Amino acid sequence: MPATSLDQLVSLSKRRGFIFPGSEIYGGLANTWDYGPLGVELKNRVKKEWWQTFVHKRQDMVGLDAAILMNPKVWEASGHVSNFNDPLVDCKNCKERFRGDKLLEEKLDVEAAAVLKIDQVQPMLVAEKIPCPGCGKIAWTEAKKFNLMFKTQQGVIEGEGSDIYLRPETAQGIFVNFKNVINTIRPRLPFGVGQIGKAFRNEITPGNFTFRTREFEQMEIEYFVEPGEDKQAFEDWKQTVWDWYLSLGITKANLRIREHDKKELSHYSSRTVDIEYRFPWGWGELFGLANRGDFDLSQHEKASGEDMKYTDPDDATKKFTPHVVEPSFGCDRTVLTFLLEAYTEEKLENGETRTLMKFDPRLAPIDVAILPLSKKEHLVAKAQELYKKVVQGTDLVVDFDVTGSIGKRYRRQDEIGTPKCITVDFGTLGEDAKQGEKDTITIRDRDSLKQERLHIEELINSLVR
Ligand code: GAP
């Protein structure tokens, strides 16, 4: 089960260095978060697992890393300038600002709220007697379209022609490079391009920790297929992504699939399903799968004048615009899900409670901790020797801790999810009464708490992944 309260996770994240509030020494900047020393390791591992699974281990995939800043014509062609809007209303009494469609959604169903035109939003709020959540009055302004893209200026001269946007999705970087990829890699359909990177949206109601922020990271795939093969590809990706989340330790009961209603679909999609996770505040979108058809490539062909078609390498007369199935993962939401899923409080036999993060070992920020039993100089020296051996002989992330009792140090490692702790003791030095313990260590398992004695050479072999 996920942590019962988000507060517990936020507090552990801050205390142990997973996630800090952004710009904290200046009083913060609302809804910005910084990944700390452990958070960055966890996030990098999520990205590494994703890249390995979806780019390296598939013959039909390649990677890309496109620029965040793109020619503004991209966003006109993609439909984001005209369609990526929320209807905003202000309360004339308290001056607070809200998304009119969201206020209406609570009263009407999602479908009914989604079909309203911008000039119907305010009259509908009044007709339904929907008060301001801030002050309780019904004093709404006309709804205004608010584009979610962040605008900035390029170059030193402010003014006309220099306005550009921070990308609101990584996807367009892939579409505009379609020809480059085709011409250099010469892939056969079906094939996909994967990309991990930042995206920016001026969200009206960010919140719930890293769930909805204005700056976030996406892990996206644009998968190109022959028209007519999109439906099967859609089903295949739905299953593949579902299985990926389960394989990394997400509990099945905390995941569900939600099909978008026709009225709810984004401007580019003919079908969308979300994989939702049961967050502490309720179900929320973790991943979205969209059938974008030939929308983007056709739009870019029209707007840029470049031919965006694909020619069959076996039959040059067969030329067409591929259709696109898009698996889109929120990286920060995925990290948040793994954090929530890992958080465990366990009652021990002695009545104490231990907090542990039960990360899949592939995701744990630290693989092993090396702990000399005490601060005695020769124990520490031996443990340091072992530390060097492990970091040089493996690609593991290794922690070294001498501070506090061994019990306290175990607890600290449990709390950050370190799967294995290695203790160097007097047996290791050959100073213990027991025979044959020289150059052996104990290795302790985070989940079972079992300890095993191993020879150092065996240890290195057992740690190599
Ligand atoms: N290219 C398609 C696309 O961008 P989306 O459903 O708008 O689709 C995809 O976004 C994923 O990105 C979402 O499922 C979510 O995980 C993540 N995401 C979107 N907006 C976000 C935000 N404001 N904060 C954090 N993650 C966000």
In ligand 1, the atom with minimum distance to the C-alpha of 288 is: 14
pLDDT at 114 over 90: no
Can you read off the two tokens belonging to residue 391?
């970091």
Question: Residues of the chain with pLDDT > 70: what percent?
Answer: 96
For residue 58, the CA-to-ligand 1 centroid distance in Å is: 24
> Do the beta carbons of residue 166 and residue 49 sit within 8 Å?
no
Task: Note the pLDDT of residue 157.
Answer: 64
Can you read off the two tokens belonging to residue 23?
């710009």
For residue 330, the CA-to-ligand 1 centroid distance in Å is: 5
The angle formed by the CA atoms of residues 179, 182 and 187, to the nearest 5 degrees, is 160
Length of the chain measured in residues = 465
State the fold for domain 6-80+151-341.
BirA Bifunctional Protein; domain 2 (3.30.930)
Distance CA 382, CA 441 (A): 11
For residue 319, the CA-to-ligand 1 centroid distance in Å is: 33
Element of type H or E holding 463: helix 456-463
Name the DSSP letter for residue 26. G
Burial (CB count <10 Å: 0-12, 13-18, 19+), residue 435: exposed
Distance CA 423, CA 428 (A): 9
Residue identifier of the C-alpha nearest atom 14 of ligand 1: 287
Residue identifier of the C-alpha nearest atom 9 of ligand 1: 328
Q: Say which CATH class 366-463 falls into.
A: alpha beta
For residue 435, the CA-to-ligand 1 centroid distance in Å is: 60
With H, G, I as helix, E, B as strand and everything else as coil, classify residue 439: coil
List, for residues 187-203, the tens digit of each pLDDT value: 999 999 999 999 999 99
Name the DSSP letter for residue 140. B
For residue 117, the CA-to-ligand 1 centroid distance in Å is: 24
In the chain, where the domains are located: 6-80+151-341, 87-147, 366-463
Mutate to test the pocket of ligand 1, among 70, 255, 285, 336 (most ligand atoms within 8 A of CB): 285
In ligand 1, the atom with minimum distance to the C-alpha of 334 is: 16
Task: Note the pLDDT of residue 159.
Answer: 61
Task: Note the pLDDT of residue 172.
Answer: 98
Amino acid at 54: F
For residue 214, the CA-to-ligand 1 centroid distance in Å is: 10
pLDDT at 306 over 60: yes
pLDDT at 463 over 90: no
Residue identifier of the C-alpha nearest atom 5 of ligand 1: 288
pLDDT at 341 over 70: yes
In ligand 1, the atom with minimum distance to the C-alpha of 328 is: 9
pLDDT at 264 over 90: no
3-state per-residue secondary structure call for 126-137? HHCCCCCCCCCC
pTM of the model: 0.93
In ligand 1, the atom with minimum distance to the C-alpha of 290 is: 2
For residue 201, the CA-to-ligand 1 centroid distance in Å is: 9
Q: Is the peptide bond before 21 cis (omega within 30 degrees of 0)?
A: no
- What average pLDDT does the structure give for the chain? 94
State the fold for domain 87-147.
Herpes Virus-1 (3.30.40)
Residue identifier of the C-alpha nearest atom 16 of ligand 1: 330
In ligand 1, the atom with minimum distance to the C-alpha of 286 is: 16
Task: Note the pLDDT of residue 433.
Answer: 64
For residue 97, the CA-to-ligand 1 centroid distance in Å is: 22
List, for residues 137-153, the tens digit of each pLDDT value: 999 999 999 999 999 99
Angle between the N-to-C axes of helices 456-463 and 377-393, in degrees from 0 to 180, rounded to the nearest 10: 40
Residue identifier of the C-alpha nearest atom 24 of ligand 1: 212
For residue 412, the CA-to-ligand 1 centroid distance in Å is: 34
For residue 215, the CA-to-ligand 1 centroid distance in Å is: 11
Residue identifier of the C-alpha nearest atom 15 of ligand 1: 330
List, for residues 58-99, the tens digit of each pLDDT value: 999 999 999 999 999 999 999 999 888 889 999 999 999 999
Task: Note the pLDDT of residue 431.
Answer: 84
pLDDT mean over 433-462: 90
For residue 55, the CA-to-ligand 1 centroid distance in Å is: 20
DSSP 336-349: HHHHHHHEEEEE-T
102 — pLDDT class (breaks 50, 70, 90): confident
List, for residues 350-390, the tens digit of each pLDDT value: 999 999 999 999 999 999 999 999 999 999 999 999 999 99
Q: Which residue from 427, 433, 422 is spatially nearest to 396, judged by alpha carbons?
A: 422
Look at the alpha carbons of 49, 51, 55, 56 in this order and tell me if their dihedral is positive or negative. Answer: negative
Tell me which of 216 and 161 has the higher pLDDT.
216
Distance CA 164, CA 179 (A): 23
Q: Which residues pair with 398 in a beta bridge?
A: 368
Residue identifier of the C-alpha nearest atom 19 of ligand 1: 330
Measured CA to CA in angstroms, residue 247 lies from 42, 45, 194 at distances of 16, 14, 20
Mutate to test the pocket of ligand 1, among 328, 331, 334 (most ligand atoms within 8 A of CB): 328
Tokens 């439906």 correspond to 231
pLDDT at 160 over 70: no
* Residues having CB within 6 Å of any atom of ligand 1: 169, 171, 201, 203, 212-213, 216, 218, 220, 285-288, 326, 328, 330, 332-333
> Do the beta carbons of residue 119 and residue 142 sit within 8 Å?
yes
Element of type H or E holding 92: none
With H, G, I as helix, E, B as strand and everything else as coil, classify residue 301: helix
Measured CA to CA in angstroms, residue 121 lies from 20, 137, 138, 384 at distances of 38, 17, 13, 67
